[in-house]
Chain A
Amino acid sequence: MNAIVLDKVNKWFGTLHVLRDITMTVATGEKVVVCGPSGSGKSTMIRCINRLESHQEGHIFVDGTELTDDLRALDTIRREVGMVFQSFNLFPHLTILENCTLAPIWVRKMPKAEAEELAMSYLERVKIPEQALKYPGQLSGGQQQRVAIARALCMRPKIMLFDEPTSALDPEMIKEVLDTMIALAESGMTMVVVTHEMGFARQVADRVVFMDMGEIVESGPPKRMFEAPETDRLKLFLSQILRGD
């Protein structure tokens, strides 16, 4: 069973062709890391999967349902797909607990007590249950991103999307977020992760997809991709990104 299918997806921003014939499938339980230089369309691609951006050509199927203008189908899909953003996007006027219980209560129609119990269990999993009654502004960046992960998990999604989850963090906070993501990967979640963290890709990814100029240039298991890149573009990208390693 394929969790996500992208079939010849094309997208334009005005006259700018940002996604070119993207074809990719993600199997249930598979962890895919998407990398590529900035402006390569990787964020746009992942945002198309839960229709924060709409595509103009091709087909996208998520959990067997096609993404169209049909709002009911969209609601069903968004319920099953959790997303974590680069800039956390926690709701600053709600407590950590309220951030986590909002969607379960109103979208899943879960009783409040049950939603709070669920939220606390996920906050424990990301190791910050003691912050539950604080506001996002009182937490560090790493803590906020872990709350964002817990908040997405509270909807019990089948698929998790990560859009550069560590890019806005200070170096010492990156590890705590990556550890949370590794633990999630080990639990069997289907994950699509846009990131530059090659160590994370090596450790958890089943497959790495390299994008450039809006198209998928190369994809394969991380070991093969990093040790024996086939295309010049990937070689160039790896030489730039791994210089610091």
Chain B
Amino acid sequence: MSASIINESAINQSTGSREQPPPGLVGPLAWLRTNLFGSWVSTAVTLALLYIIVRVLFSFVEWAFVNAIWHVPYSATGIAQTAVCQDAKGTGACWAVIADKYRLILFGRFPYDEQWRPAIVVVLFVALFALSTIKAVWRKGIDSPIVRYIAMSGAGLILLDNAAGLLDTIVEVGFGVHLPLPFGLLLLLNTIGKCALVFGLLLLWPAIGVWIGTLAFIGILMFGGILGLTAVPVDYWGGLPITLILATFGLAFAFPLAVLVALGRRSTQLPAVKMLCVVYVELIRGVPLISVLFMASVMFPLFMPPGINVDKLLRAQIAVILFAAAYLAEVVRGGLQALPKGQSEAADAMGLSYWQKTGFIILPQALRLVIPPLVNTFIGFFKDTSLVLIIGLFDLLTMGKVALSDPPWQSFSTEVYIALAVIYIVFCYGMSRYSRGLERELNSARGR
């Protein structure tokens, strides 16, 4: 009995030791040896690069932290005395420029005393992004006929008011008279409708409700004019909120549009729709974003009847949406094409309708395949929003330039651009990390 136990443990030990690789094949030391010191050439390259990295790192730390100047004195008239910084130029960074100008860079020409509003907006955006990365948030809420009815009737009331407004505008432009409609009542119904829609969506699909609710609140904070907030015209907006608004609204609207365009372009049943989608994508892709923005800003108002004035930010926003959608549509189309034909045939054979097939079978798989290029395009457009400077909108990057036009700070562009780069990196790296996590999760769920 005891002999057999000993034998068993001996066998276990011997097989156990055989499963271990020979020493020196795993562990950090082995990794170093194979990857960095494999031969005398790679040893030499490793040492040389190590020397350069350490040197650069040391001088950067010295410049950015050790010799850096964080504050400068101000004259009696409030002008910054940057002589200290000028002396330290080349040896130490002058972060005092950030300390002095950060509110201008972040919030633009928004009234100084009201800048807590754009500050909250930025926090709300970040919170919205962070919340959206949690998978549980996207779960379905309560799906009952009553909830649907609330949401639908809310949307109906909003449409009613907008339709009446549009009709009135057309009649006014055409005949110069106002329609005798109860506009006060319609506006009230519109407001009730908005509340009902948000409430209904919040119950039906919490994530969408949270998004619409937060974006509406962001609109209230930025525009003001109600709830005792001072009205701030769009011309005074600037900095990070502009960048976040353009990127968030831009991609949130461009993405669904892109999916529709990609589906339209692959349609075999509707040649006219297909043609339209091809023309749209090729036309938009064929011109630079700057020219689309320029057209939206300068040419678009020329075509509109007098009296109708579409806001500059809204025009830029539409241009960004249309431009991003064309690029995203091609990315989505790539995913649609990568799916084997059998998936679509199996769905057809089961009797699923076109939209059921697309929603349950085709898109979930196609979009998973294109997460990397999709996020690539997202990140690209987040940065491309800085091009709105061409039509006189002051985004984050443009505000950095504006801050640098102040005479005492003119020669400290390096510090400002580094600070701006850090902000851009935080957002872009966040997107990149989220997409990597998403890919890993979706792939592990499939057992691959």
Contact = CB atoms under 8 A, between A and B. Distances in A.
B174 interface: no
A103 B351 contact: yes
A83 B347 CA distance: 10
Contacts, number: 65
Contact of A91 (B346, B348, B442): B346
A123 B428 CA distance: 46
B360 interface: yes
B340 to A, nearest CB: 8
Given A107-B351, A107-B352, A134 B447 contact: yes
Given A89-B343, A106-B356, A137 B447 contact: yes
Nearest to B349: A83
Given A89-B343, A93-B364, A93-B368, A52 B348 contact: yes
Nearest to A78: B351
Interface in A60-113: 75, 78-79, 81-83, 85, 87, 89-93, 102-103, 106-107
A152 B353 CA distance: 16
Interface string B410-448: 000000000000000000000000000000001001111
B446 A52 contact: no
Contacts of A200: none
Contact of A106 (B340, B360, B368, B445): B360
Nearest to A80: B351
A155 B347 CA distance: 12
Interface in B319-355: 340, 342-343, 345-353
B361 interface: yes
Contacts of B445: 135
B67 interface: no
A106 B364 contact: no
B352 A103 contact: yes
Contacts of B345: 52, 85, 89
Given A85-B342, A89-B343, A92-B446, A78 B349 contact: yes
Contacts of A102: 350, 352, 360
B441 to A, nearest CB: 12
Contacts of B448: 137
Given A89-B342, A89-B343, A135 B350 contact: no
Nearest to B365: A93
A195 interface: no
Contact of B351 (A85, A91, A155): A155
17 contacts: A52-B345, A75-B351, A75-B353, A78-B350, A82-B349, A89-B340, A89-B343, A91-B346, A91-B365, A92-B446, A93-B446, A102-B350, A102-B352, A102-B360, A106-B352, A135-B447, A152-B350
Please give me the 10 A-B residue pairs with the lowest Cβ-Cβ distance, nearest first. A89-B346, A78-B351, A89-B342, A103-B350, A138-B447, A83-B349, A107-B351, A79-B351, A135-B447, A135-B446
